[in-house]
Amino acid sequence: MKTILVLFVFFILASCSTEPAPFKDGMYLEYRRTDGSPSYFKIAAIGNKGYKIIETRKRGPILSDDVEEMFVDIYGVVYKSSFEPYEGEFSPIWIPVKKFKVGDTVNRVFHVVRKDRWKQWEVLVLEGSLGGEYYYDLKTGFKVGISGRRVEIVLVATNAPVATDNGIKQ
């Protein structure tokens, strides 16, 4: 009986594990909205515990920038954030795409709807509960864009191992 219990616990732990996030110290991603305003994500390693991700959304010359800070473990799951809904979820810039299939739910509010081609990327397409589609590169898991009713957001610069909208792999 003890052996069966140990095997069951091992099976549960193994099935819950996921691939480590491909974040690196100094990594950055820059996204551009259709109105031209940029959003930046900068990643810093925190020893061997995980990473700190700082998101800065530029709001123009008059308004101050929006800045959010989150801390993720080595699997890309947020454990502390200045924006509470992120806690316990995968970061907004990366998901382990190989773990999900059409019909799955990601981060409680996104549904995997299909694999497709969007711009120059092969992507996993998630649909948000409020609408819009979120595109994650099938090779790397990095978010490459969002398409909503009135706005499109596209990855335009990065040193992560994913091509940008200008076709350049950094």
Q: How many domains does the chain have?
A: 1
- Nearest-10 Cα torsion for 93, 30, 67, 77: 20
Rounded distance, CA 124 to CA 133, Å? 10
Cα–Cα distance for residue pair 98/112, rounded to 1 Å: 12
More confident residue, 16 or 85: 85
Range of the domain at 31: 18-158
Q: Write out pLDDT tens, residues 88-118.
A: 999 999 999 999 999 999 998 899 999 999 9
**Confidence category of residue 169, pLDDT binned at 50, 70, 90:** low
The answer as to whether 148 is a domain residue is yes
Distance CA 71, CA 147 (A): 26
| Residue 124 structure tokens | 């996993």
Mean pLDDT score, 159-170: 72
The confidence score (pLDDT) of residue 132 equals 92
Q: How far apart are CA 73 and CA 91, in angstroms?
A: 10
Q: Which of 25-47 are b and which e, b meaning 16 or more Cβ less than 10 Å from the residue's Cβ? A: eebebbbbeeeeeebbbebeeee
Q: What is the mean pLDDT of residues 15-40?
A: 86
Quick: pLDDT tens for 125-138. 999 877 899 999 99
pLDDT at residue 85 in the model = 77
- SS3 label, residue 159: coil
Token pair in block for residue 4: 């069966």
Range from 7-21, 37-51, 72-86 carrying the lowest mean pLDDT? 7-21
Angle at 137 between CA 109 and CA 80, to 5 degrees: 50
Higher pLDDT, 1 or 9: 1
In a domain, 94, yes or no: yes
Average model confidence (pLDDT) across the chain: 85
Q: Let me know if residue 58 belongs to a domain.
A: yes
CA 3-8-50 angle, to 5 degrees, is 120
Residues 6+ apart with CB under 8 A from 46: 52, 71
- Is 169 a member of any domain? no
Q: Which of 25-29, 31-35, 90-94, 166-170 comes out lowest in average pLDDT?
A: 166-170
Strand partners, 13: none
